[in-house]
Chain A
Amino acid sequence: MLCNRLVTLLISTLLAALLLPAEARAAKVRSHTLENGLKVVLVEEHKAPVVTFQVWYPVGSRNEVVGLTGLSHLLEHLMFKGTPTVGKGEYARMVSARGGSENAMTSRDYTAYYMTWAPEYLPLSAELEADRMRNLVLDDTEFDLERNVVREERRMRIDDNPIMSTVEQMYATAFMAHPYGQPVIGWMSDLEHLTAEDARRHYRTYYAPDNAVVVVAGDFDPKTALAEVRRQFGPIPAGGGVRAVHTVEPEQKGERRLVLKRQAQLPFLFMGYHAPNWQSEDAHALVVLAQILFEGKRSRMYQRLVFGDRIAVDEGGEYDPVTTDPELFYIYAVASPDADPATVEAAIHEEVARIQATPPEARELERAKNQIEAGYLLAQDSMFYQAMQYGTAEATGAGSGYVDDFPKQVRRVTAEDVSRVARSWLTPENRTVALMQPITADEVSQ
């Protein structure tokens, strides 16, 4: 037994030093900006004759104001309703009949559209996307129907889901000034009152070449691809400019707590600490800290809450620095049936305090970095995911350089950095703690 373990250790240690090849990315990446301000990122990779064509608009719930929440996401749905030359529902039909896939997504920071298919359809992608950047038809009847679809989406994702309801309320509590406190899908009462005119205005304001990034990834000739993008998007005039979101969340000066009572089975704890984004020198150390705390069965939280104390059945957390404005470092746990959520919360705080007091040991730090680096390489198995990485980085201002430098920056993080950023950011004053407390059916009806 001991012998086996030593052999494994020895092999692992030898490999660790040479985990990443000299070139951490096989694809060639180039950026251009057209005269009208459209940014184009070409991720050239000839492994297979396939192309994913994505258009990223840096507009999301971050750009929404009180009373109009959910507008960016609703507009994303409406972008499939057609133009004078492309009928309602035609995008899905055209792409699927050519064996491709297409969809769209909205976050706090961006709205993105994509089509994935054979390289011969790259010009068609560019044509369709340029067309709907400019010529979308927003019909009142279609607006009302799609608004109802989104209300159903909200019921499904949030209202009938105790976990997601808790997430929504914690964000709303952690952000008092900044729009990150608003749900991407919008508050239900806002969804009920949005108008087609609101959507038209949002579209006119934010859908313009100088407020968009085209990411093309896969097997294509970069010269031809750029020419095609230029041909289709070049004639579109720049927009009238976008009003900057200048709201800065005031520094949190004390813990905030909230309790949500829902008919549910197990208590759920969700806590968030305000944390910096990619602009901060602490970002990469926070990434490593999150890895050590949350990833895998050897992570601190799994070892303590699930494996050791057996007081949680699920736990985790995340820190994503690729956001436009500073967001949250969050931690969550689902309590075991007989565990007191207060005990779970205390154990989480103890684990945070432990890593604040003592830097991780060399092997633990090395494991975290190895996991991040291997993950970086494994993620390249998917072209779509690579394009997503560049699109997110561009849409949030981090830029393609952030993606390319990521492994190198992670490698530089020291054990002391990890402890230091935990001390700087994971403070009681800076946190918001949400508890979803299950109640019974009888209590609900009362």
Chain B
Amino acid sequence: MSRHGLLCWKTAGMTAALAVLALLPWSPAWAADIKVQRHTLDNGMVIQVVERKALPIISVELALPDAGAIQDPREQAGMAALTARLLTEGTATRSADQIAEAIEYVGASLEAGAGPDFATVSFTGLSRDLSLGLELMADVTRHPKFAEDDVTRIRDEVLADIQAGDDKPGVVAAKAFDKALFGAHPYALPEEGTEDTVPGLGPEQLMAFHSRYYVPEGAVISLVGDVSMGKAKKLVKAHFGGWSGARPAPQERAAAVPPEGIRLITVDRPVTQANVAMGHLGLTRSDPDYYPVIVMNYLLGGGALTSRLGDSVRDSQGLAYSIYSAFAGMGDPGSFAVRFQTRNESANQAIRSVLAELRRIREEKVPQEELDAAKSYLTGSFPLRLDTNNKTVGLLTFIRMYGLGDSYFTDYLERVRQVTARDVQRVARQYLHPDDMVWVVVANQGEANVERP
């Protein structure tokens, strides 16, 4: 909880776009100029470096492509996340306290976590501490201890976090939505696990997960900041060169079944607002349609203040403070969702407005002017995704984890520019299904009284 929690902002959910360019040329053409140097170690680990020497600081991220929550067996949901959280809690030669002291004494940070598709270990600090940072990153990645007592301590924290999440209507809605939408697919369960699965995760399971999925083959380490490729190569080799192991064979996964008709899920809470999530399955991040889809979605509800949903629900009707739509582009097909909060009594009116916009973008060709504005935002603001070292490192990871290719920086701009009004209508018809959706409404149900169409 920072003091910023006490500030009020005009729009919510825009933090990603808030900060300013720090180190890159503005013009979208900068993209072709960004220099990513790459090298592969003998053990299969890839090194990526972007040199930025204006400040004596550095960000490093190691990504493990197979160590995400998607690997969790259903009855062991939370395993990938708990494994990652335990990495910095003790190794064969360092206690949790020693790790924290070494990092904090130099004012740096060391973090590990698992998302749905992959896990990361990251370091941010002054560039003079890079060697220390890589030494610790390697130690926690390669030799975590998973001591019984540390596992119990962190597991209890995770269980308490899960419990506390129940106080946040948005979190409750998101969990219910994923569960209903993804069914038998692992994306159905929260990354951190559930109250039923987490207590069963012990040191032995975590160790087994670690030895299987934390391997150098396919792992990618990205460094952005005050460092040269020569130095990065030397240090990464010194700390990770002796690491060995091959990627496990890919696993079969149950597919999610698209909803048919409107599946309404209600959760009754004594709240003043209805928290609503409406949507269905989307597409993978590497799908060629991803680009026309993000342009279409920006028009629909991706651009919080300039989108059709924002115009209708917020600006013209005053029904919500925050409303947006998003396609989650992931390894397997992710979700499409419209999310908003409105006072209980206006839930039906807001839902009707959302449906009207979903139909309109399917039925009517978008005006050229509106399309051009969306495209120029998406291309022109691309540098905002690389404005700090931390963000750049995250994008470098992302490109490799989703196999977007080394030409991503030019492809992105090219593909967005090529999208036509016809493409937008085609993907709207193909990827928006207003009649076949999951609706989750967390609200005081007596007041919200949501009706199916």
Contact = CB atoms under 8 A, between A and B. Distances in A.
Chain B associates with chain A? yes
Interface of A: 1, 4-5, 8, 11-12, 15-16, 19, 21, 26, 47-50, 52, 73, 76-77, 80, 88-89, 92-93, 96-101, 103-108, 116-119, 144-153, 155-157, 159-164, 167, 184-185, 217-218, 263-266, 295-298, 306-307, 310, 313-314, 316, 318, 320, 332, 334, 336-337, 363, 366-367, 370-375, 377-378, 380-385, 387, 441, 444-445
Given A118-B27, A149-B321, A372-B107, A265 B380 contact: no
Interface stretch (B278-286, B353-361, B381-389, B399-407): B381-389
Contact of A8 (B102, B317, B379, B388): B102
B156 A48 contact: no
Contact of A337 (B9, B124, B163): B163
A310 B273 contact: no
B8 A217 contact: no
Contacts of A382: 19-20, 22, 387-388
Nearest to A320: B3
B22 to A, nearest CB: 5
A3 B179 CA distance: 49
A106 B372 CA distance: 32
Interface stretch (B64-72, B79-87, B125-133): B125-133
Nearest to A323: B3
B94 interface: yes
B139 to A, nearest CB: 9
A377 B104 contact: no
A363 B104 CA distance: 11
Nearest to A13: B105
B105 A12 contact: yes
Interface residues of B, number: 94
A316 B124 CA distance: 21
Contacts of A162: 167
Contacts of A50: 20-22, 26, 383, 387
A380 B1 contact: no
A384 B20 contact: yes
A135 to B, nearest CB: 19
Contact of B315 (A89, A96, A157): A89
B373 to A, nearest CB: 4
A313 B161 contact: yes
Contact of B163 (A19, A265, A363): A265
A138 B89 CA distance: 56
Q: Closest 6 interchain pairs by CB? A: A99-B380, A374-B107, A384-B20, A148-B318, A50-B21, A153-B321
Given A48-B24, A96-B306, A96-B381, 11 more contacts: A1-B94, A97-B373, A106-B7, A157-B8, A163-B1, A167-B6, A318-B2, A373-B107, A374-B108, A381-B388, A382-B387
Contact of A101 (B18, B98, B314, B341): B18
B127 to A, nearest CB: 10
A48 B105 contact: no
B249 interface: no
B376 interface: yes
Contact of A105 (B9, B26, B169, B320): B9
Interface in B142-175: 153, 156-157, 159-161, 163-164, 166-169
A375 B126 CA distance: 9
Most buried by B among A152, A157, A370, A371: A152
B265 interface: no
A277 to B, nearest CB: 13
A310 B167 contact: no
Nearest to A157: B8
22 contacts: A12-B132, A15-B128, A15-B129, A19-B106, A19-B107, A50-B20, A50-B387, A89-B305, A101-B18, A103-B11, A108-B6, A152-B319, A156-B273, A184-B7, A298-B101, A313-B157, A313-B160, A318-B2, A377-B126, A378-B125, A383-B22, A387-B20
Contacts of A100: 380-381
B97 A265 contact: no
Contacts of A159: 271-273
Given A48-B25, A73-B8, A164-B5, A149 B157 contact: no
Nearest to B132: A11
B271 A160 contact: yes
B8 A106 contact: yes
Nearest to B322: A156
Most buried by A among B18, B163, B317, B384: B18
Contacts of A295: 104
A107 B106 contact: no
B419 interface: no
B289 interface: no
B19 A377 contact: no
A49 B100 contact: no
Nearest to A2: B93
A184 to B, nearest CB: 5
A384 B321 CA distance: 24
B17 interface: yes
B222 interface: no
A152 B8 contact: no
B134 to A, nearest CB: 13
B208 interface: no
A334 B164 CA distance: 9
B233 interface: no
Interface stretch (B50-58, B209-217, B240-248, B423-431): B50-58
Interface string B420-447: 0000000000000000000000000000
A304 B26 CA distance: 47
